[in-house]
Amino acid sequence: MKPIFQKYAGIIIALVILLAWSGCLWFLLHWPIDFTSPFTYLAVLLMTHLYTGLFITAHDAMHGVVAPGNKKLNTVVGTITAGLFAYNYYGRLYPKHHLHHRHVATDQDPDYHGGNFFLWFLSFARQYITVVQVLLMAGTFHLLQLWFPVENIVLFWMLPAVLATFQLFYFGTYLPHRGEHAPDNPHKSGTQGRNHLWAFLSCYFFGYHYEHHDKPYLPWWKLYQEKDRLEKGR
């Protein structure tokens, strides 16, 4: 069993995230909302975390590490997971992300902006949010109202996607790439302090961002191991 899991770990983990996202969303769209219950707010945070997981899975697919050696399967998984996250288009994300890796923190980096947090986020949003996405989200919102309460749709389908966008930007782009980096830092990337629980909860270990740029062939669930290796080597 263990060799099988090791061989297909990327696909298995991607399926777990997909099933968790879809299963939780289905349940929560039917759940009677009680604004006095802490479960409501915990559910929003859970869906935000799972939305982030969708995008991180699409990101790993861009690096070919969901299904190593199988470009078509990586593309399929990346297209599905990116699409479920507010209709992001994998074919548009893929070249932009690789430009980011080739030209990190330069004028040719689509993820980079030298301004403050808000200007940087606006620049980031312009790169990745399209009119087509907004129209598809609006159309889907009206369609979902045929079956589910508006409050459930907003709280558990729309709001988590917005929050996850901020989460991905803040922990995966802004924090690691802001400010000046040492001349001997070839990736112009910072990294979170070693705290695996916080690193996972905040952005699926992508706060260990220097480690990702240094070894982009590692899937998200192995970045903590690289963090440990570098910490021990100091």
State pLDDT tens for residues 120-151: 888 888 888 888 998 999 999 999 999 999 99
Q: Is residue 165 part of a domain?
A: yes
Q: What is the mean pLDDT of residues 54-78?
A: 93
Please tell me what DSSP assigns to residue 88. Answer: -
Please tell me what DSSP assigns to residue 129. Answer: -
pLDDT at 230: 81
Report the amino acid identity of residue 190.
Answer: G
Q: Is residue 201 part of a domain?
A: no
| 168-173: long-range pairs with CB below 8 Å, 24+ | 168/52, 168/55, 168/203, 168/206, 169/121, 169/124, 171/202, 171/203, 171/206, 171/207, 172/203, 172/206, 172/207, 172/209, 173/111, 173/120, 173/124
Mean pLDDT rounded to a whole number for the chain: 89
Q: Is residue 210 part of a domain?
A: no
Q: Is residue 150 part of a domain?
A: yes
Q: Is residue 214 part of a domain?
A: no
Domain that holds residue 59: 2-179
Interatomic CA distance for residues 123 and 117, integer angstroms: 10
Determine what percent of the chain falls in helix, strand and coil, rounding each to the nearest 5: 70, 0, 30
The count of domains in the chain is 1
Q: Is residue 25 part of a domain?
A: yes
Over the stretch 191-227, which tens digit does the pLDDT of each residue have? 888 899 999 999 999 999 989 998 989 999 999 999 9
Q: What is the mean pLDDT of residues 1-29?
A: 87
Give the count of beta carbons closer than 10 Å to the beta carbon of residue 117. 13
pLDDT band at 178 (very low <50, low <70, confident <90, very high): confident
Around 211, how many Cα atoms within 13 Å sit in the side-chain half-sphere?
Answer: 24
Chain centroid, CA 86 distance in Å = 12
Q: Is residue 207 part of a domain?
A: no
Rounded to the nearest 10 degrees, how much is the dihedral formed by the CA atoms of 100, 102, 202, 175? -80
Q: Is residue 175 part of a domain?
A: yes
pLDDT band at 233 (very low <50, low <70, confident <90, very high): low
pLDDT band at 112 (very low <50, low <70, confident <90, very high): confident
Q: Which residue has the tokens 């070249």?
A: 95
The answer, yes or no, to whether residue 234 has pLDDT greater than 60, is: no
